[in-house]
Amino acid sequence: MADDFIVVIPCGAKKRPGTHKARDLYIGSYFTGCLRYALSIAPESRVFILSGKHGLLRLGDRIESYEMMLGQPGSVTLAKVKAQAVELGIQDCPVVAVAGSKYAGMCKAIWKRTTTPLAGVGGFGKQLQWMKQNRGRTP
């Protein structure tokens, strides 16, 4: 598994109420764009969501709606996400962090080989446009 890259995308602020698979809980356009791009370059089993509350989530993990962003008091810690990466056996994988600077920064702190294709692209709108134009292209 160490030679296969994984894709990490951020959670989203906009969520459905109730309990859902992680991929279905977040409903904002930025999350949806990140997910579409991620699935265009990697299989579902290699895509993870970095949640401000839960840390690393698989797309099929069932979770309840919550309000917590990375960096807020009580949010997931770097140490917890590192431990999750070890538990999942992905701590040595190359990573494509399809995320803004805060979430990409956490990825860089955990994985030595992290690519951040959205760095320097601009705001959310420009990032969404970049992801749409580059679907299927691994950075």
- Please report, in tens digits, the pLDDT of each residue of the chain (139 residues total): 345 899 999 999 999 999 999 999 999 999 999 999 999 999 999 999 999 999 999 999 999 999 998 989 999 999 999 999 999 999 999 999 999 999 999 999 999 999 999 999 999 999 999 999 999 999 9
Task: Name the token pair of 82.
Answer: 């590192």
74 lies in some domain: yes
> Could you tell me if residue 114 is inside a domain?
yes
Q: In whole angstroms, how large is the CA radius of gyration of the chain? A: 14
DSSP 8-class letter at 21:
E
Residue 19 within a domain: yes
Amino acid at position 109, single letter: A
The answer to whether position 89 is within a domain reads yes
Q: Is residue 51 part of a domain?
A: yes
Tell me what pLDDT residue 1 has.
38
In a domain, 46, yes or no: yes
Indicate whether 81 belongs to any domain.
Answer: yes
- What is the C-alpha to C-alpha distance for residues 51 and 10, in angstroms, rounded to an integer? 6
Q: Comparing C-alpha atoms, which of 30, 57, 39 is closest to residue 118?
A: 30
66 lies in which domain range? 6-133
Q: How many domains does the chain have?
A: 1
Looking at the domain assignment, is residue 139 inside a domain? no
